[in-house]
Amino acid sequence: MCELVANACAHAGGPTQLLRSRGERLRVEVADRDARRPEPRRAADPGRPGGYGLLIMEELAQAWGSTRGAEGKWVWLEIRARAA
């Protein structure tokens, strides 16, 4: 979740909304005003700092993506929710 909020701050003027929902999976959605889809950076120089958060998120989340909104986009991720 921190990665989604950090990316909204760094690349899209900050988040405008944050929503969590529970079910079989925990889904976290962050809205921002930038309509561009997020793309993980595939750096040629692995020693270069920054820009690897989406790559890590791809490995840890069961699913993630983005959806266009009325004024920007929602970036979301889903992880398995723990059984109660």
Residue 63 pLDDT = 93
pLDDT in tens, 15-42: 887 766 667 788 888 899 999 998 877 6
Nearest to 75 by CA among 45, 50, 38: 38
Contact between 32 and 69 (Cβ < 8 Å): no
**Residue-level pLDDT at 1:** 64
- Tell me the mean pLDDT in the region 67-82: 88
- C-alpha span between 49 and 44 (Å, rounded): 12
**Most confident of the following: 9-18, 21-30, 42-51, 68-77:** 68-77
